[in-house]
Homo-oligomer: A and B are copies of this chain.
Amino acid sequence: MMNTIEWDDDTETVKLIDQTLLPVAYKIVECRRVAELIDAIKRLKVRGAPALGAAGAYGVVLGCINARDTKELKAEMEQLKHARPTAINLSYGVIRALNAALAGSTLVEMKENALEEANRIAVEDVAVNKKLGDYGSALLEDGDVVLTHCNAGRLACVDWGTALGVIRSAIEKGKRIEVIACETRPLNQGSRLTCWELNQDKIPVTLITDSMSAAVMRDKKVDKVIVGADRVVKEGVINKIGTYMHAVVAKAHKIPFYVAAPRSSFDTERSYKDVEIEERSSEELLFFAGTQIAPLDVNVYNPAFDFTPFELIEAVITEMGVHKSISAKFDSVIG
């Protein structure tokens, strides 16, 4: 299977697995222009913080191919950076590849530089996830049942995954791990993507609704919780809506709650108060696959992310190690 996102040299396109169609259909989308990539990002055909880092970087390559000049390129890259506001990796990827590009003196040279940097980001992402997974796997014991939310797996990255990467690494070391996947409303990345990719790897997984997490914890069916992060800030972690709820109930049941995220998701100069939490369309709650499920004139609140303070997080797992009590010694950990 191809990676979540790849550059295709023959067609000069960014190829990505269309995540809106899974698990019913497995289809590859090719983006030839930055506008197409922005559209794919907004529609969540590609999503997940680390995957968005690679998408941003490959977007610079598309920009170099199609832009008339550096001014146009820069303007388009501003648009790309803001296709989705919350995950920091998107702008991180754009900035890295754009800086590499701007070292070139012609658009052709710029494109070559951007592609080299983008490929480096993609390769790094997999290496980082494997390292992160390796560190995190030490936290899991043989026989553990791990609850996860949304999709912080291979499909959220270039490959391997962050939260699911930790699980894959533990299994690779011979530990038997089972997963409980929360479906993750409103867009069901848990049921559609996490269940799909774990099934592909024959990792045992049980699907529940998001609201069942407290009940399964109370019934002692959960040993650990691991989620990803869209942005790690000064006071905690911004991640898919529902993460905070799972963290609160995990704390109440004394179940360790871990966040797995590469350092490219860190933005620790910033307070969570200064991060824009994307509010998505009310249609995501009014309709389901085209079927109306609420009165059309009802008011809807649909933030895509929430904030979880470090106080609720047992450890943050990065490619540098397992960082416990991070709120106390946070600056030194990520310095």
Contacts and interface: CB of A to CB of B under 8 A. Distances in A.
Interface string A240-283: 01101110110110000000000000000000000000000000
Given A295-B23, A295-B196, A300-B207, A285 B242 contact: no
A136 B183 CA distance: 34
Contacts of A188: 293-294
A104 interface: no
Nearest to A249: B248
A288 B284 CA distance: 13
Q: Is the interface of A mostly helix, strand, loop or mixed?
A: mixed
Given A188-B293, A192-B293, A306-B215, A298 B241 contact: no
A325 interface: no
Copies in the complex: 2
Interface stretch (A67-75, A76-84, A198-206): A198-206
Contacts of A300: 206-208
Nearest to A240: B211
A292 interface: yes
A61 to B, nearest CB: 34
Contacts of A204: 299
A58 B140 CA distance: 55
Given A285-B183, A301-B208, A294 B242 contact: no
Given A191-B285, A298-B195, A292 B207 contact: no
A241 B183 CA distance: 14
B209 A306 contact: no
Nearest to A277: B215
A19 interface: no
A103 interface: no
B293 A289 contact: yes
Nearest to A191: B294
A216 interface: yes
Contact of A294 (B195, B210, B246): B195
Contact of A23 (B248, B294, B302): B294
Contacts of A218: 244, 306-307
A260 B299 CA distance: 25
A328 interface: no
A186 interface: yes
A324 interface: no
A268 B208 CA distance: 29
18 contacts: A180-B301, A183-B294, A184-B211, A191-B293, A195-B294, A206-B299, A207-B285, A207-B300, A207-B301, A208-B285, A208-B302, A209-B210, A210-B211, A211-B246, A212-B242, A216-B301, A249-B249, A288-B288
Given A183-B185, A186-B209, A208-B302, 20 more contacts: A23-B295, A180-B301, A184-B211, A185-B209, A188-B294, A196-B295, A199-B297, A205-B298, A206-B299, A207-B286, A208-B300, A209-B241, A209-B242, A212-B245, A212-B301, A214-B245, A215-B244, A215-B307, A288-B288, A289-B291
In order of increasing CB-CB distance, the 9 nearest A-B pairs are A211-B242, A289-B291, A214-B245, A191-B294, A215-B306, A210-B211, A185-B209, A206-B299, A195-B298
